[in-house]
Amino acid sequence: MSASDQLSYNDTFENEESEIDDERATADDGDDEREEDTHYDRYSTEEFDDADLSTLQTYRESQRCSSSRRQLVSHSETQNKRKDDANENAADKEAEEEKEVTEVTGVSEDETELVTSAEDNLSDPSPPLEEKKQKQAVSMSDKLCLDQCQLSGKRVLMRVDYNVPMKDGVITNNQRIKATLPTIKYIRKKGARCIILMSHLGRPDGQKVAEFSLKPVAVELHKLLKKPVTFLEDCVGPEVEAACREPRQGSIILLENLRFHIEEEGQGLDESGNKIQAKPEDVEAFRKSLSSLGDVFVNDAFGTAHRAHSSVVGCTLPLRALGFLMKQEVHSFANVLENPKRPLLAILGGAKVSDKILLIENLLNLVDEMIIAGGMAFTFLKVIQNMSIGNSLFDEHGAGIVSNIMEKAKNNNVAIHFPVDFLAADQLAEDVNTETCTVEDGIPEGMMGLDVGEKSNQLFSEVILRAKTLVWNGPPGVFEMTKFGSGTKVMMNAVVKVTRMGAVTIIGGGDTATCAKKFNTEHLVSHVSTGGGASLELLEGKMLPGIEALSDAPIQRDMDKLRLSQCFLAGKRVMIRCDLDAPLHQEGLVQHWKLSAALPTIEYVLQQNPEKVLLLSHMGHPGGRVNLKYSLKPLAWELETLLNREVIFVSDCVGPEVEKQCSDAPPGSFILLENVQFHPEEEGFGRKDGQWVKSTPEDIQEFRRSLSSLCDVYINEAFGSSHLAHSSIVGVDAPQKALGLTCTKEMIAVEDFERDDKRPYLAIVGGLETAEKLFFLEDILNNVNEVIVVGELANYFLKVQGLELQSRLYDEYGVEPGLQILELAAKNGVQIYLPQDFIIGNEKSHNAKVEMLDATETIPEGWTLLDIGEQSYSQFKGVINRANKIVWYGPPGVCEIDIFCAGTKSLVASIGESLKSEASVMILGESTVNTWLVWKDQSVDCPVNKNGRAAMSFLAGNELPGVAILDNNPDRKKVKKKKKKKKKKKKKLEPLFEEELEPETVPTAEPAPEPTPQASPKKYVPPYNKKLPPLKTYEKPKPRIKYTGAPPPGQSKPYVSPLFKLKPWIPPPPPPSPPKKPLVPRLSGQPEPRPVTYHPPLTGSEVPYSQKYKIGEAGKPGPGFTLHQIKPLPPITELQAAEPPKSQRVPIQLPTVAKIDSRGNLTIGIEGNSKNIPPGVTVQIFESHSLH
């Protein structure tokens, strides 16, 4: 493997493994359990003394490390016996040559070390069965998928596997090309600007070889897509970048073979055939050039996912997603490795045990049963049962670990099944004599086992048919020859059968995929993998570089929580956790927005007649000690004035006295509890004797129990503290836990902004809370495209880059966090913009001396950076104007002072211009919101949230602990169930001619012509009225109805419309006697009836379309309407002649309903009676009106 590949993947993985080992070593001491129980969270250092910063810094760093590597730690714990085999992921040509040699002559030095390593691992105590059957965290199913990306107008760079076989420049098998078509068509359908395809072909070893050109693939792709495909003669470089910079909308571009460049694999051959390594700087330039070609990276080449090549792991675009082919592979193996249905069966074949050591070892931790067949079964049987195997395959080095494998299987309760009989021959050929041998009798000398026998087939089929999940890697015999393919065919039939029974069946690529193709069963199993080496490494428990390099999927946060309006509060004790951290002065409370924000929820709860209402909050940073400076008592006086009712103030928030005092309070009481942060158990740590100490889990548990005993319903109205896992936020165990009114409103606003997928996405981060914003900046780099850093945070990053600036944050944390963030930004393709000049002052006042300073100059002693300069906000204006989604958290300067507010005003003006261009904007943080509301253009508006820390944490993709612990919305689940039931009912109506349905009403004025007897038209399309929604048309199936009774006159077999289900034809009843009273009685107050004339058929041109009949409202028949079988019009009172005249006026009283039957006949319903009009007769309306 090249140095560049090791830099990009292996070294990083090794470093992470070592850090995880350190964390696990610490966890063994019990510290991790205490930290998890106490729910520590990052905390602001603004109120801390300098002496305490080092202690808090250590705590924060440990929390960051634990949070960012949570998934890797989980994976490491389940795979703690696995050695680091990442160097095998990019196996080069030399390794393959060595493998060929060792198969013939012996075993390599690396293989000897591998066997020794496996022996050590297998000799370790095995985990219990319960641990084995738990979910294995493989971090595959949580990767970003193509259907989660916004593709409209984007250039999509797609890695595919077009390594197809060719002969004389002609592709002989295009299956790999066809496999990528669904992904390509989806990208085009979603409006992507262009698709740029890149692939390798063969092994040109870094040289441009015409034989391995992808030009024939472009021709084949054009044939399959029937779209123009542009082929470029190279894959990187200025010409390629220019061609992909402004491509035609919807275009498809195929790059030349990636392996024509040595930087793709990291190594190759020179012109003399000598092996050479690519330079790291050249590899970096190659990857940068590839990344510049697109806006979104899609990997749809599972077959190369186990190789750390530049096109697989080197893309730095912010969105790196799975294609549909890759998604199917990853999710299929995730079903086996992460959460399989039990029992789980593994079928393993192959020649040598030593080739499958890691595979067997990992699967023994997962499966319930295992079948070992193929060549390596002889090694097991000879060691275990001392079977005579003749000339059959025997792995001497693998034989040394057979006993350890069997011991581990026994400890893990895994049943291993071996063949019991074999089909043996003296040579590998079709026309040889064969002999059936058993394990007891052995295989004679000079013969070798080439397939399993009938008894083995029966045994394996029984094992397969009881599995719920199955993974198969390696056939049991030489299936390429018909004579020795019976065992493989029987096994395939059993796998197909168990798939039909509902089992999940995965065929793991390689020879097994080839046999599925040979027997034409690829579509009869759950999944056939397209990557032999990649699927094998997944089953071995390795993490594939191509999957690890992709972006993580957004966290599926369930934010639809129980709301206050859904709770029954009458007679209940209700605790409201709100955020009353309001500023105080000597006289008492200063009116503050946080108190006003809590009033709607408080007033609503009081109106619901609860037994008691308890208000719980924090104020300031007392450090877990009683400090009357931060007492909530002044708030009790203020609340009495605002609510116009008595407020009982309790001088503590937990303990027996508080529980008794709240219990003794009269019904309807409103109680304010003392500052919850007077207790160290609230945050999990506090000050004691000048030191920060952690609270014990027992004290925290008792603190939370006491809080929980005070209430029946818990309401979270503290959105600004919901990102903190404090005891009063996540530890109150009440029967009902719901969102408050204001908290719900803020959640909806932030969630709506997060769902907006506009790009480019810009984050502006500034202000003074630099410690918190450093972490938020690290989190949000996974979501945004560009970042503007201002304020104290900008000073820190400039100092990280070597400038002589004053930065307290730099002194607290050092250079390491800043370098990590810059590295993460470069990896995600996020551009970070820092100020280029500053305004400095000698003091923070209106009378301060002010000077302009370039970012490269040293700040004079005693001076401070207080705002950005003109050059900076001129640059920032361009960045803001091109963004379509902006989040702003923190001003760039001391905007409270006039001489230092120019930078903030410039940002407000630029964001206002973006709002006029329909950009999505959200302003976060109290100081930022206040400056925005004062200086913004009154013609523009956007959502704001003064709780900046919680909102920014949510937008960064983190789950809010204070929201996650609340009860789910029960109404949402009921709605989903109803929708599912409706869908099931609709599906039952889809099949035709299986049950009788009522015929539908089809509006028309022109009857459909009578079809010729026994005619079968391809489609029947009724003449729809344009004012009604069209009905679905169906292919007319072959008649499957037996007709009974006499057919209508002049017709041998009635025509059956595919829109209806008709009953057997029955002659109509005799016509009713003529009515004694007038046909249409007039009602008082009704207008004169409009005449309707019966006359012979007219052509379509003689009857205007606007005068044709239409059905009434919603196409439904009127009351009392019935449909009769049609026969010639019977005589009625007004028409006594034997044959009706050509034209006769008949008065018809409205309302009247018209309906067409299956033969195109028109029926007019008149106030409960019916008047039938025979075929071939058209109704004409006098006056240009429609009949209803």
Active site residues: 176, 352, 510, 533
1002 vs 643: CA distance, rounded Å:
64
Q: Which of 1090, 1112, 1054 is nearest to 1179 (CA)?
A: 1090
- Two tokens at 677? 């942060």
Q: Which of 577, 592, 593 is nearest to 719 (CA)?
A: 577
β-bridge pairing 415-417 and 369-372: parallel
321 vs 315: CA distance, rounded Å:
11
Helix (H, G, I), strand (E, B) or coil at 253: strand
Peptide bond between residue 1151 and the one before it cis (omega within 30 degrees of 0): yes
Cβ(650)–Cβ(660) below 8 Å: no
Phi, psi of 538 (to 5 degrees): -65, -45
406 vs 883: CA distance, rounded Å:
61
Other Cβ atoms closer than 10 A to 1166: 18
Q: Looking at 756-844, list the stretches that DSSP marks H as alpha helix, in order from N- to C-terminal side.
A: 770-780, 791-800, 808-813, 816-828
Q: Which of 504, 961, 447 is nearest to 737 (CA)?
A: 961
160 vs 253: CA distance, rounded Å:
12
- Two tokens at 938? 């009154």
Q: What counts of helices (H) and strands (E) characterise the chain?
A: 41, 44
- Two tokens at 320? 């790196």
413 vs 756: CA distance, rounded Å:
51
CA-CA-CA-CA torsion sign (1098, 1100, 1104, 1105): positive
84 vs 1156: CA distance, rounded Å:
76
307 vs 547: CA distance, rounded Å:
10
Helix (H, G, I), strand (E, B) or coil at 690: coil
Q: What is the DSSP string of 123-141?
A: HSPPPPHHHHTSPP--S-T
Cβ(1068)–Cβ(1164) below 8 Å: no
308 vs 9: CA distance, rounded Å:
7
Residue 80 CB-half CA count within 13 A: 14
Give 1152's DSSP letter. Answer: E
Cβ(78)–Cβ(136) below 8 Å: yes
139 vs 333: CA distance, rounded Å:
11
Q: Spell out the residues 6+ positions from residue 678 whose beta carbon is closer than 8 angstroms to its own.
A: 622, 624, 625, 626, 627, 630, 652, 653
Cβ(422)–Cβ(440) below 8 Å: no
Give Cα separations from 684 to 703, 827, 927 (angstroms). Answer: 11, 35, 29
236 vs 28: CA distance, rounded Å:
50
727 vs 707: CA distance, rounded Å:
9
User: What separation, in Å, do the N-terminal and C-terminal C-alpha atoms of the chain show?
Assistant: 81
45 vs 772: CA distance, rounded Å:
9
Q: What is the dihedral of CA 704, 707, 708, 714, to 10 degrees?
A: -120
β-bridge pairing 885-889 and 850-854: unpaired
Q: What is the dihedral of CA 718, 720, 722, 728, to 10 degrees?
A: -50
- Two tokens at 1181? 């309306």
Which strand (E) or helix (H) includes residue 596? helix 593-607
